[in-house]
Structure 1
Amino acid sequence: MARKKILFIVLLGGIFFSHAQVYVSPSTHVFVNNEVLFVKQDVANNGVMFLRRDGQLLQGVAGVTANKGAGTVSVYQEGTCGNYDYNYWCSPVGTIVTGQEGIAGNFNADATKIFYRPNTIINSDLATILPWGSYDGQSNPLSISSRWLWKFVNATAYSQWVHVGNGQPIAPGEGFTMKGTAGTDNTNVDGIINNPGNHQRIDFRGRPNDGDIVIPCLVGQQTLTGNPYPSAIDLSYFLLDNPACDGTAQFWEQDKTVNSHTLANYRGGYGTFSPAATLAQVTAGTAGTGIYTPAIFYSYDAGGNQGTVTSSPGNSYKRRFSPVAQGFLITGANAGVVTMRNRYRVFVREGAANNSQFERNASSAALASANADNVPSYNPVVEDLAFPTVLSVSGIDYTNESVRPQPQVRINTLIDNQGVRQSVIGFHPEATDGVDRGMDAISSDDGLPSDMFFVIDDKEYVINMVAFDENKRLPLGFKNGAPANYRITVQEIINADTVQNVYLHDKVNNQYYDIKNGVHELNLPAGTNKSDYEITFKRDSNLGLGETIKNSLLVYQDNSGHTLQISNPMALDLNTVVLYDVVGKVIFEKTKLGNNTTYSFPTANLSDGIYIVRMLTSDNQEISRKIIIKN
């Protein structure tokens, strides 16, 4: 066996740049460890380029790629699901066609030839693609079920998914679904276990994708695409720079406690990412982190139609920079084509701290509990910290970027005591009250039987970006196929000091309900309502109990005594006291309390976190307060 030459690019904090073509001779290994290899032009590769520990390959050619050669790039990515659950992927490599090694360009990916299982830092075994009848993939030796490999191109219906399971081509820039594997693989490669359980590592091997990649996406239709390069991309830049898409991306999330391959048992949904910025801000390096709204999980019937709301994990993901192989959906908005370009490519190491996540499990409720020492935790003070180092093909200077989130109000709506729809009001000085591309995000769940949404141009939105004005009124809509209960509260206010109050305004009865400090319950008949309710930031001063009377009610948590205390010095006649958790679920409810001057309720059995006390007087006036319990 001939001895192979190995070029190590480690450089300990340095960067390797080539402003010309890179040529890799046969039997030569290029090893990029925790750094970026930036090539201004094309790569003629006849060896193997190993990208390890967030090592990435960036190329700067404008237009069509000139990459060629019989060699491959090898890059890892870890799935985050077991054999019953999907990740959405986009291959960073194509499959080299025998006899066409010298032809320049990107190649289609063949699922039977791009997935490998690492066994050493440079050696991997080709995965077996199992036939249609095999439901479960296995981690060791790596085998992948072809039954769950699908793509979605210019489509709107479940029936339009296209199977790509066993050798059918996946074009560059086409995303695909793939379930994880059963079992574990304790093989330790470069300090990481291949599969400790539900986290299958894949070694993608093939010709690295490069240059302009056209992504089909027609007006009003969706396409599963993703990051097609062996480097990270600036997702906000891609979305805003392509006016043929609506400027947002949707990410699949699934309930991983459901161990079933039967569609009717699935529970899942789509989270939505909005850049919440303008293209000018992106190119100036001042766009920020964007806004992500978590998925609401719902069931499906056998035809793929959405059924009842089942749960809401409140997963929080940092999506500004899409890591290698991340898949997502885009929606066509205007005539033209959507093109992935090298100028969107950046060197960003994967991780939440770098706003680049393939997936992470951390619910907002858990975060609220963990942050129970922050008072008030629903309006945190966020330091204006700079982004970590971002190196870009475009030359954008990211040093002015900040991890400080966009000013926003997050609203939780608990639907029929099952799942929480989280919607966001974002604030941007250039936003209008109409639809702003790359800011407002339309709901991906328009088939839900029950939902709450912002009404913009008579359509349903989960993110509504506006220029803040205390007098602004934001229409709110509800739809439900059967009578439904909604509990609405502000989950948190972030970096928006000008927002002093948030109210739900019942326009029919001209009643204002404080949802910043409390929960308001609605019981609505079947149907769609887009006209009776709105969000406001102030209310008419002559409505409800006088502020002096309301403020006389003192509500506080005695953490040392493990009790909720209510002081009622004006002896208001209290009909009901309800304690809710941060997502609106009832912890306890006390009725017919009378006009005592003090009340005490035990809380020793409750978890640490934020809770909402809602009091209702005998004449139906609401008073609400937020408390923090720390036992």
Structure 2
Amino acid sequence: MATVLFAKNSAKAKSEENEKSEVIAMSHNGVNYQEIINNPITIPEIRIHTKIDNTFYRESVIAFREGTPNNNTYNRFFDGRNYEGGLTRDAYLLSDDKELVIKSINYSEDTKIPLGLKTNKNNTPFEISIFSLEAVPENVSIYIHDKLNNSYTNVINNTFTIVLNEGTYNDRFEITFSKQNVLHTETISIRDFIVFENKTQSQLEIVNPKRLNINKVMLYDVSGKEILNKTINTSKDKTVISTKHLSAGMYIVSIKITDNQTLNKKVIISGN
């Protein structure tokens, strides 16, 4: 390990003009520590403020760190946990299902960072905007992607506003730096699945003829409230979910597949 050497008020560091103390960082093993002190590295940061229920703000920070091992996993040396997870209304970043206040990434346009929102009451407004950008390149765009309706809001000069009912929304929203994943070579759409209610069996059926990998299935009512969130991680040709506990009405089925792509389909549940 390299050692940092300091000389304070030594004969070598002493000024002939005054007796003020000086600190000189010496070079060692080819590392110029004086240069590091004089020219510290600035880490680009995006500070996002979420105004919750017109009452208080929660801050989330995205740091551009080139040494980040993996954008899609939690790393305790690079990321900051949300230790106030007991709040009944909150906003936070997510990685490996851990709530974060700081997420470090190695920036690329196709990076996606899950954004969690939760509330303990109906009709809770959330307003999300950029509070500050520190050393972030001017060509970087920042969007809030609502995967339920596939809308993108550029929040650099705008505010993303939504009203949510009671619930935890960990799979609906994400922060992106482009409006689509330009790396997709094969387009996958909801038309690759057949989604319907089997009224006789009182179950929702998702037919998967291409045997694509399904990570999660979420179910929302027409107000956007999450009714079901089920991790399945399967590529079976059919997935079945009971609808016996559901009231009659229109629902939105969200299917999360590889690369966090989400596909939506409206279905009518009979409520038998």
TM range (shorter): 0.5 to 0.7
CA distance in 2, matches of 1:428, 1:489: 22
The equivalent residue for 1:511 is 151
Asked if structure 2 preserves the Cα contact closer than 8 Å seen for 1:473 and 1:536, the reply is yes
Report how far residue 529 of structure 1 moved: 1.1
Asked if structure 2 preserves the Cα contact closer than 8 Å seen for 1:412 and 1:491, the reply is yes
The equivalent residue for 1:422 is 59
The match for 1:14 among 1, 9, 13 is 9
Asked if structure 2 preserves the Cα contact closer than 8 Å seen for 1:408 and 1:426, the reply is yes
- State, as a whole percentage, how many aligned pairs show the same letter: 27
Asked if structure 1 preserves the Cα contact closer than 8 Å seen for 2:125 and 2:164, the reply is yes
The equivalent residue for 1:490 is 130
CA distance in 1, matches of 2:50, 2:127: 5
- CA offsets, 1:503-522, max 9 Å, x none? 10000000011111111112
Report how far residue 34 of structure 1 moved: 7.9
CA distance in 2, matches of 1:494, 1:417: 26
CA distance in 2, matches of 1:437, 1:499: 29
Q: Structure 1: which 4+ aligned runs deviate by more than 4 Å?
A: 33-36, 389-392
Q: Given the alignment of the two structures, is residue 502 of structure 1 paired with residue 112 of structure 2, yes or no? A: no
Report how far residue 424 of structure 1 moved: 0.9
Q: Given the alignment of the two structures, is residue 480 of structure 1 paired with residue 116 of structure 2, yes or no? A: no
What is the identity, as a one-letter code, of the residue corresponding to 2:48? I
The equivalent residue for 2:95 is 456
Which protein is richer in strand relative to its size?
2
Closer/same/farther in 2, CA of residues 443 and 427 from structure 1, 3 Å limit: same
The equivalent residue for 2:168 is 528
Asked if structure 1 preserves the Cα contact closer than 8 Å seen for 2:110 and 2:180, the reply is no
The equivalent residue for 1:557 is none
CA distance in 2, matches of 1:403, 1:512: 36
The equivalent residue for 1:468 is 107
Bigger radius of gyration, 1 or 2?
A: 1
What secondary structure sits across from 2:54 in the alignment? coil
Asked if structure 1 preserves the Cα contact closer than 8 Å seen for 2:44 and 2:63, the reply is yes
Q: Given the alignment of the two structures, is residue 413 of structure 1 paired with residue 53 of structure 2, yes or no? A: no
CA distance in 1, matches of 2:139, 2:170: 24
Closer/same/farther in 2, CA of residues 399 and 529 from structure 1, 3 Å limit: same
Q: Given the alignment of the two structures, is residue 400 of structure 1 paired with residue 36 of structure 2, yes or no? A: yes
Closer/same/farther in 2, CA of residues 496 and 14 from structure 1, 3 Å limit: same
Structure 2 gaps of 5+ residues are 1-7, 13-18, 182-272
CA distance in 1, matches of 2:131, 2:11: 45
Asked if structure 1 preserves the Cα contact closer than 8 Å seen for 2:64 and 2:106, the reply is yes
Mapping of 1:291-302 within 5 angstroms?
Answer: none
Asked if structure 2 preserves the Cα contact closer than 8 Å seen for 1:422 and 1:462, the reply is yes
Report how far residue 496 of structure 1 moved: 2.1
Q: TM-score, normalised by structure 1?
A: 0.24
What is the identity, as a one-letter code, of the residue corresponding to 2:36? N
Asked if structure 1 preserves the Cα contact closer than 8 Å seen for 2:80 and 2:102, the reply is yes
Q: Given the alignment of the two structures, is residue 446 of structure 1 paired with residue 85 of structure 2, yes or no? A: yes
CA distance in 1, matches of 2:101, 2:40: 22
CA distance in 1, matches of 2:55, 2:149: 28
Asked if structure 2 preserves the Cα contact closer than 8 Å seen for 1:427 and 1:466, the reply is yes
What is the identity, as a one-letter code, of the residue corresponding to 2:144? L
Report how far residue 444 of structure 1 moved: 2.1
What secondary structure sits across from 2:78 in the alignment? coil
CA distance in 2, matches of 1:449, 1:516: 28
Asked if structure 2 preserves the Cα contact closer than 8 Å seen for 1:406 and 1:495, the reply is yes
Closer/same/farther in 2, CA of residues 522 and 430 from structure 1, 3 Å limit: same
Report how far residue 16 of structure 1 moved: 8.8
Report how far residue 502 of structure 1 moved: 0.6
What secondary structure sits across from 1:538 in the alignment? coil
Asked if structure 2 preserves the Cα contact closer than 8 Å seen for 1:499 and 1:537, the reply is no
Report how far residue 35 of structure 1 moved: 5.1
Mapping of 1:193-232 within 5 angstroms?
Answer: none
Closer/same/farther in 2, CA of residues 435 and 16 from structure 1, 3 Å limit: farther
What is the identity, as a one-letter code, of the residue corresponding to 1:14? N
Report how far residue 471 of structure 1 moved: 1.2
CA distance in 1, matches of 2:97, 2:142: 23
Report how far residue 457 of structure 1 moved: 0.5
Query: How many residues are matched?
Result: 161
Report how far residue 477 of structure 1 moved: 0.4
Mapping of 1:137-536 within 5 angstroms?
Answer: 397-401=33-37, 402-431=39-68, 432-433=70-71, 434-483=73-122, 484-497=124-137, 499-536=139-176
Mapping of 1:59-74 within 5 angstroms?
Answer: none
CA distance in 1, matches of 2:49, 2:36: 32
Report how far residue 478 of structure 1 moved: 1.0
What is the identity, as a one-letter code, of the residue corresponding to 1:474? I
Asked if structure 1 preserves the Cα contact closer than 8 Å seen for 2:74 and 2:98, the reply is no
